[in-house]
Copies of this chain bind each other. A is one copy, B any other.
Amino acid sequence: MQQVDVITLGAGGGAYPAAFRLARAGRQVLMVDPKGVMSGNCLAEGCVPSKAVREYAELSRQASRFGLGRSTEIDLAHIMTHKDRVQRTRYTQHAAELEKLSAKLSLIQGRARFQDANTVVVENDSGTKSYRAEHIIIATGADIFVPPIPGAEHCMTSRDLFALNPTMQSLPRRLIIIGGGYIGLETASILHALGSEVTLLEQQQQLLPGIDPDFVAGLTPLLDPTIRMITGAEVASIEPTTAAVLKVSFRTTEGDEVLAADAVLMAAGRHPVIPEGLEALGVQVERGRIMVDSTLRTSVPHIYACGDVNGRVPLFHAAVGQSLTAARNILGGDRAPMDYFDFNSVPTTIFTLPAAAYVGRTRAALQAMGREAIEAAYVFAEDSRAQIYDEPDGELRLFFEPGSLRLMGGWVLGIDAGQLIGQIGLAVSKGLTARDLAAFCDQHPMASEGISKAARRLF
């Protein structure tokens, strides 16, 4: 049985940053991943490829608005080629980085299960092999959740759109998306912009369930109104009919409805992938998530769980930050941690067209805690850059603690949301104040001016 210092289950965002850091610290590290490549679902079928497609839609939208011409027909296959190229470039770069540290770090393809608290059994085409390690990082991520709806097997998933050489190479004329979480909503927005006729069905009464309702209420009117979005929709079945047409039956409070589509995308959510054998070790799991504290340790101190598998902030960049925290705590000695992850200041961007983003504690979270806030907003209707880009809708909103004026949270609805949330998020993370934001001279004419302008309203 091979002995290493650290094993990571997975090689995605929750795993490889720790693996690299530990290898650089001289530890012998083994990553085990079913895909056999780094970056997990994010690069394989998630954020990176979806954004590669999204930016086509975004540019096309902007170019069209600027009268810069737009091919009457956008060729999805052309976009997919570009997307595949980005993915391949990154895989190549990752392989080169891995190679540089090969004396200390290796990645093997395979499915891992726990034999005991320090032993992992890996199965792959070459057979079954056991590895022993002093520390283990579980970073097995999450997988697509397919609800038990009759006919669900006829649906596509994000994998069919965003994996390398994806199944979908031409736009469906009519697309139904089941699920109005961020994946469903982003895909609705992107494919609609590229030319599909999109209907989105969300079971709950609110799009983007779990997110601040006022944020969602602010985002919704910014989206193209010709996307049909139905909330409170309970899907009953998906049935194939002749000639590649699917019929989706669903019920709302207004009655039953049946819609036909050329494709149905199942985007009903994701669930953590719990490695086999874990339950026997006494690692605490609740509602399908591995419990961790801000040190990323599980209830078994030498076992860590980073990224989607702990269900705290299921975003790639959160996983990366957690992974580095876990690495430092392994270096510090499990029972003497020396790094802590702040789950509260991770920015989230909904990459619709336009995008929207938030960070920290916004109105709903503060109200739930019984805390007051001084709100300061800036509407893009008065923003130079938004006017230049002809995107005057939306706003930027900041939530300050009364007295200290510490920034507790913020959101951006509309132009440059994904960029602006960085500056706002850093300020939340460091507890900067309205005064700090007001004192800084944001570059003119960029939308970030809205940050200082909002803050300056308090002075």
- Interface on A for B, CB 8 Å cutoff? 13, 21, 24-26, 42, 47-48, 51-52, 55-56, 59-60, 62-63, 66-71, 74, 78, 82, 86, 89-90, 93, 293-294, 315-318, 320-321, 324, 328, 331-333, 335-349, 357, 369-371, 382, 384-385, 387-389, 402-406, 416, 418-423, 425-427, 429-432, 435-437, 439-449, 451, 456, 458-459
Contacts and interface: CB of A to CB of B under 8 A. Distances in A.
A384 B60 contact: no
A425 B403 contact: no
A332 B425 contact: no
Contact of A444 (B47, B63, B419): B47
Contact of A443 (B338, B343, B349): B349
Contact of A68 (B60, B335, B343): B60
A403 B342 contact: yes
B332 A459 contact: yes
A89 B349 CA distance: 30
A59 B48 contact: no
28 contacts: A24-B332, A26-B333, A51-B384, A60-B63, A66-B82, A67-B71, A90-B384, A316-B445, A317-B444, A321-B439, A321-B441, A324-B459, A339-B459, A340-B458, A342-B404, A342-B405, A346-B441, A347-B441, A369-B369, A404-B431, A406-B431, A420-B422, A422-B448, A423-B423, A426-B427, A426-B440, A430-B432, A430-B440
What is the oligomeric copy number? 4
Given A55-B388, A317-B442, A342-B439, 11 more contacts: A51-B384, A69-B69, A321-B439, A340-B405, A357-B443, A404-B431, A425-B440, A425-B443, A426-B432, A430-B431, A430-B440
Contacts of A371: 369
A56 B340 CA distance: 44
Given A69-B71, A418-B446, A430 B436 contact: yes
B421 A419 contact: no
A425 to B, nearest CB: 6
A417 B382 CA distance: 22
B71 A347 contact: no
Q: Which of A26, A78, A426, A432 has the most CB of B within 10 A?
A: A426
B342 A52 contact: no
A332 B333 contact: no
The 5 closest A-B pairs by CB, nearest first: A25-B333, A431-B431, A342-B403, A422-B448, A419-B419
A450 to B, nearest CB: 10
Given A62-B59, A340-B403, A387-B86, A93 B382 contact: yes
A90 B449 CA distance: 15
B444 A316 contact: yes
Nearest to A402: B294
A427 to B, nearest CB: 7
Contact of A63 (B69, B402, B447): B69
A423 B440 CA distance: 10
Contacts of A446: 349, 418-419, 422
Contacts of A442: 317, 347, 422, 425
Nearest to A42: B444
A190 to B, nearest CB: 13
Given A59-B68, A69-B69, A443 B418 contact: yes
Nearest to A442: B422
Contacts of A62: 59, 63
A455 B449 CA distance: 25
Nearest to A63: B63
A144 to B, nearest CB: 19
A93 B379 CA distance: 13
Q: Which of A89, A294, A403, A432 has the most CB of B within 10 A?
A: A403
A409 to B, nearest CB: 13
Nearest to A371: B369
Contacts of A78: 67
Contacts of A328: 338, 459
Contacts of A340: 402-403, 405, 458
